[in-house]
Each structure stands twice: as C-alpha cells, then as structure tokens.
Amino acid sequence: MILLAPTLVALVGLLPFVSCEKVGYFESTSCADPKGLASCYKLVDERYSTCINENCGGGGEACSKSCGGSVSCMNAKCPGLGIDCMNACAGEQSALQIDCAGAHCWNQVYSCEYQNTVLDFISVSTNPNRDGLPYWPVPDDAPGSCSCNIGKIDYKQSLILDQMTECSNNMTNIEKLTEVDDINDYGKACLCCAYSSIISSIWDTCPGTKPSLLSADEWFNSVLIPGDWDKCGPYLEAFDCAGDLGYDRADAGGNKKFWSPTSMPTNGTKTASNIAGYISSPVSGNTFTWTFGRTTNPLGQTTSPVLHTVTVSSVKAVVTDSKAQATSDSGSTATGTAASATASETKPGAGSSITVPSWTIIAIFVAVLFSGF
C-alpha cells in the first residue's frame, strides 16, 4: 500500500484582534520594545500588500483590504487572485512577523502569543521544516511560557503524520503478510494508530486545556470522522501501535498512550495563558538566525533554505509583566524567576486564542484512499 505523504496546509487562522496596543497576537506593552514591534509589523504589512498587488493579479489591494489580509477570505471572495500566490505572500509575511517578535518582543518568545505567531507561519507554509524555526517547540515550563505547549503538540503531530506514511509503506512488515485481507488490516491499523496518537498529542500534552481550543474538533471533522475512527477499536486491540508499528519511537512522536474510540480521555476545561515568570535577557543572545525551507523539495530538487538573521533590540529592557497566574499544563510550576514576577497587568483572555493549524488537506487523502473501510 502506498500512502502519499500528506501536505500540511492549514486553512484556518484566527486573525489577530486589532486594538491600539495589540500588535499581531502581542500586547505590545509587555514586549521589550513596544514601538519597535509596532513599526516592524507595519512594515511587514506594507510589504505584504505590495506582494499581493505586484504578484497576485489585479484588484488585489482592494480585496486584501476588505478581507483584512486573510488568505482564506480572499480566496473565497476573489478566487481570481490565486491561492498559491497569496499563500506565498502570507508565508513571507508570517516569517517576517516571527523576525519582528524575536527582535522586539524577545522577552516573550515562550508565550502563547509567540507560539500562535509561529503556528500562523506553519499554517501557511507548504511542507514546513520545523527544525529551522526559532524557539520551536519551546521548552516545557520555561518562565512565562504558555500553559499549554502548543508548539509541542504541533511538533508531535507532524512526526505522527510522517510515521503514518512510514508505517503504511513498511515493506518489512508488509512482506510478512500473505493474505490481501491481512495487508488491508495492516494499512488500517497504521491509520488507526496515527489517529489514536493524534488524540494523545492533544489530550495528553495539555490535559488541563479544553481540547476544542487545540483544534480537536478540526481533527475530528476533517480527518478522524471521515477516516472512520469510530471503527478503529478492533485494530487498536489486534495491533501493537507502540512497538510493532513504531508509533512510540521518539522520531515518530514518542506516543505512549493509545486511546480508542470507546476509551477516550477526559476533556480539560481551561483556556491557555502564560505561566508566571519572565525572560530577562535574550535567550539566544543579541543576534540569532533561523531558516525556513529545506535543502530538497518534495520533487527531490535542490533548493536553498531562506536564512533569517535577527538582531534583538532594547536588550537592557526588563519587562516583568508576565500577566500570568496559571500553572503549567504539564503539572509542575515554573521555576527560576517565576516567584518574583509581578503580574502588573492581568488581562482576561490574554493568550487564550490558541489556533493550531487544521489539516484539512489530509482529509482528502484519507477520504480518497480509505473510503472502503
């Protein structure tokens, strides 16, 4: 059985709420260099408009304005512009926003806001190379980090999907099977174990957080339900997802718990917010680099990853506004500077707008390949 590698393209992205102090997802006053952040984002937005206007067909500017820059909106309202072109512009915009954040809000690089900023980039990228992304995923329980490590969820999910392909193509396993039915069952088991691991990546990484805030519904509606997750029980019992099918390997997401349709984990009830603590000096020094893209593209051709060099500003700024009381989802409390953090501005809802990309494209593969479940 050959499974095409799924292309991860997210179609849903919450537009950052716009208010006077809000810059992207950030409350700019909690950044080391609020003015710098605002002007950086402004330049990036201008560049994005120019990109659309110059490359993506006539009328781009009006459409982009009326849609507030949302690619999915523009694609629905003005399909003539070309989704690939707009995605390319949006990808550049998102990448540059990561630069802005790293330069002017370096004290927040573990926050929910930062993680959402990176997720936006991942969601508009085709075949993103996560290993080049700065502070991705963030370390667990870092000071001022998001109570739910959404970067880790994203990272695990990308490994699980790779493993889904690997498992389905594993000739060592397939050659041991002689009956056609056995081969079919093996293929279904590879999928069921992947679905089960995806559930674990959400529920077990952030057990306290409401799964609906972590794209659980998107996964169910676009992948698990069309993929007949509800019929997975017998396959999960008959096959060893962890060992034989490889899903517990670290490079396959390192999943330990395999939930089945009849034994689902309990839902968390909280929103996510930043835990106490703050970063008092730039995590990777005054200059850091990151790359996106890969050295080979999906067709095997050589490509050059784009190198971003970011110089942090206002290095001496000390921002102790952690606006955070929540304890981390992984159970332990933040250490280090956490105790002395002053939560001077507690803003309700800050950092609660988690958006994990939804992987609608996979649904198409699943629906096409496994309609005969």
Phi, psi values for residue 55, rounded to 5°:
-115, -25
Q: Which is nearer to ligand NAG, 113 or 166 (by Cβ)?
A: 166
Binding residue for ligand NAG, selected from 31, 160, 216, 279, defined by CB under 6 A: 216
The candidate with the shortest Cα–Cα distance to 150, out of 361, 355, 358, 359, is: 355
Q: Which is nearer to ligand NAG, 172 or 263 (CB)?
A: 172
> What is the smallest separation between the CB atom of 364 and ligand NAG, expressed in angstroms?
22
- Give the contacts of 285 (CB within 8 A, at least 6 positions apart): none
Using the 8-state DSSP alphabet, how is residue 22 labeled?
A: E
For ligand NAG, the closer of residues 259 and 292 by Cβ is 259
- Can you say how many angstroms the Cα of residue 343 is from the centroid of all Cα atoms in its chain? 27
The minimum distance between CB 73 and ligand NAG, in angstroms, equals 25
Q: How far is the CB of 266 from ligand NAG (least distance, A)?
A: 8
User: Considering beta carbons, is residue 212 or 291 the nearer one to ligand NAG?
Assistant: 212
- 244 lines the binding site for ligand NAG (CB under 6 A): yes
CB atoms within 10 A of CB 108: 30
CA angle 351, 357, 358 (to 5 degrees): 130
Q: In the complex, what is the shortest distance from the CB of residue 211 to ligand NAG, in angstroms, rounded to a whole number? A: 4
Query: In degrees, to the nearest 5, what angle opens at C-alpha 219 toward C-alphas 146 and 64?
Result: 75
- Phi and psi dihedrals of 103, rounded to 5? -80, -45
Name the token pair of 122: 């991942």
d(CA 251, CA 310): 29
Phi, psi (degrees; rounded to nearest 5) at 213:
-80, -10
Among 217, 230, 237, 345, binds ligand NAG (CB under 6 A): 217
Closer Cβ to ligand NAG, 98 or 199, answer by number: 199
Q: How far is the CB of 202 from ligand NAG (least distance, A)?
A: 8
- Tell whether residue 230 is a contact of ligand NAG (CB under 6 A): no
Q: Are 125 and 98 in contact (CB under 8 A)?
A: no
State in angstroms the smallest separation of the CB of 258 from ligand NAG. Answer: 16
Site string for ligand NAG, 74-93 (x = CB under 6 A): --------------------
Of 239, 256, 115, the C-alpha closest to 176 is 239
Please say whether the beta carbons of 124 and 358 come within 8 A. no
Read off the tokens for 136. 């991705």
Rounded CA separation 323/331 (Å): 19
Q: Among the residues of 137-219, which ranges form H helices?
A: 150-168, 171-174, 180-203, 216-219
Nearest to ligand NAG of 172, 301 (CB atom): 172
Closest to ligand NAG by CB, 44 vs 164, is 164
Which residues, 125 to 144, sit near ligand NAG by CB under 6 A?
A: none
Smallest gap from residue 217 Cβ to ligand NAG (A):
5
Footprint of ligand NAG on 155-174 (CB under 6 A)? 166, 170, 172-173
Does the footprint of ligand NAG cover residue 267 (CB under 6 A)?
yes
* Options 29, 39, 212, 281; binder of ligand NAG; rule CB under 6 A: 212
> Contact, 153 vs 356, CB < 8 A?
yes
Give the count of residues interacting with ligand NAG (CB under 6 A): 11
Question: Which residue, 221 or 286, has its beta carbon nearer to ligand NAG?
Answer: 221
- DSSP class of residue 77 equals H
Q: C-beta of 10: minimal distance to ligand NAG in Å?
A: 17
Show the binding pattern over residues 171-190: x = contacts ligand NAG (CB under 6 A), - = does not.
-xx-----------------
Sign of CA dihedral 177, 178, 183, 184: negative
Q: Which residues bind ligand NAG (CB under 6 A)?
A: 166, 170, 172-173, 211-212, 216-217, 244, 246, 267
